[in-house]
Amino acid sequence: MTAGALDLDQIGEIAQKGVRRAAAFLGMGVNAARDPYFKKYQLTDFTMFRIIPDDLSDADISHIKEEFEIWIIVNGLRVLVESYAIFLDRIHTACLLMATSKCTISTEDANTFGVAFERKGIEQKLSVLRNRFNVTTDKEKYLASINRARNCITHRNGCVGTEDVGEGNSFHLLWWALDIYIETPSGEKHSMMPPFPEEGIYLKDGGSVMIKVTDRAIGYQLGQYVRLSPNDLSEICLLFQFSTSEIMKSTIEYARGIGITVKKADDVVEQDAPADS
């Protein structure tokens, strides 16, 4: 394996780009949907065909904008998951290349493993990476849940079906997030999460800013539609960022464990030169 054969920064960028796209599209879409002055729903300058009448009422336009915001958010989640899945494919390929270079996996097996891996869902991809190379993230349960929501959005237009539910005919979407709050000397807690009060927060005795890792969950019953708030998706974007970093770090540790030197975390992975070279 030669220097530059594996650029881990480039592989990590696949997932990080998905996060940035989801965040940017979320901001652009929600801002447009909530702008009371934005009512231009026709492609007047780009097409001669009209599918929707030009004279929709304000109520009809408001309904379109509400549905557009929902569409933007759930498709942002889909972009996150699908970008992350491609990232895991490339990580798996990198690990196979390193393993074959050290003869711990045969080339024939590596070819078979690679094809089978790309056909799996995120939950199975993470399991294979953990069991085969000890490449892990501690956010597997959240990613598996988010992937199931993505499947629901992609295959059932977001409507929770029998394929999605467990006991009690319900599906719970789980994710990991950070709670930020101010704790006063007397133990009172004042959330610093949006929406923020217009009048601000007055603290007579001051306080300390605290950050706490916490679980989030939304339960959906059979027949309900998967819905998220803009803040929900922004928190899920953060989860994917953290998980990507964990997978990258774990991949570097795997490389070092089999005798492949990583110059630095953001550099290429290259094999140690033989002692007599």
Q: Which strand (E) or helix (H) includes residue 33?
A: helix 8-34
140-156 and 230-257 helices, crossing angle to 10°: 130
Q: Given pLDDT bands bounded at 50, 70 and 90, which one contains residue 119? A: very high
| Burial class, 2, CB count within 10 angstroms (exposed 0-12 / middle 13-18 / buried 19+) | exposed
pLDDT tens digits along 218-265: 999 999 999 999 999 999 999 999 999 999 999 999 999 999 876 555
Structure tokens at 174: 């789980």
Structure tokens at 180: 């930020």
Q: Which residue has the higher pLDDT, 185 or 60?
A: 60
Task: Please report the pLDDT score of residue 239 as a whole number.
Answer: 97
Residue at 84: amino acid letter = Y
Q: Which strand (E) or helix (H) includes residue 170?
A: strand 170-183
Cis ω for the linkage preceding 274 (within 30 of 0): no
